[in-house]
């Protein structure tokens, strides 16, 4: 849960680097919360975009989700422009996921110091 909260504390920080664990823990907690909110909204009678809880949660975490993804790409020494790979159906998304799952570049790179060496969460 610390990784999830750390991403929220750095709400719109697009500089620097993020470890794999930080990104994927944020992704995991985000998915769990979204599923729970979806179930609650469905039980309350919401369908599709009428499920206001899920919509508000998704909008609230849009910026921190993009920020942590950019920092994760920076850790692999790729620019934020690689986010656009998601617009290429299937192949682009697979490449994007591989980049997010790839081990970060050891040592400093042009985006900052190695988060493993600095002791960052």
Phi (first) and psi of residue 16, to 5 degrees: 95, -165
- What residue numbers bound the domain in which 88 lies? 2-111
- What is the distance between the alpha carbons of residues 109 and 104, in angstroms, rounded to a whole number? 10
The answer as to whether 119 is a domain residue is no
For the chain, the domain total comes to: 1
pLDDT at 16: 92
The answer as to whether 117 is a domain residue is no
pLDDT in tens, 34-86: 999 888 888 887 665 567 888 899 999 999 999 999 999 999 999 999 999 99
Residue 116's pLDDT band (boundaries 50, 70, 90)? confident
The answer as to whether 120 is a domain residue is no
The answer as to whether 50 is a domain residue is yes
Query: Contact, 26 vs 11, CB < 8 A?
Result: no
pLDDT at 39: 85
- What is the distance between the alpha carbons of residues 114 and 5, in angstroms, rounded to a whole number? 20
- What is the distance between the alpha carbons of residues 115 and 7, in angstroms, rounded to a whole number? 14
Average pLDDT over residues 89-111: 93
């Amino acid at each position: 849960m610390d990784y999830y909260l750390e991403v929220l504390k750095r709400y719109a920080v697009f500089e620097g680097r993020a470890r794999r664990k930080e990104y994927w823990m944020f992704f995991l907690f985000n998915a769990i919360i979204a599923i729970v909110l979806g179930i609650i909204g469905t039980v309350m009678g919401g369908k599709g975009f009428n499920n206001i809880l899920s919509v508000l949660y998704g909008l609230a975490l849009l910026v921190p989700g993009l920020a942590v993804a950019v920092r994760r790409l920076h850790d692999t020494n790729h620019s934020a422009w690689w986010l656009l790979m998601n617009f290429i159906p299937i192949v682009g998304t697979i490449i994007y996921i591989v980049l997010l799952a790839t081990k970060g570049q050891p040592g400093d790179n042009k985006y900052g110091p190695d988060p493993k060496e600095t002791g960052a969460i």
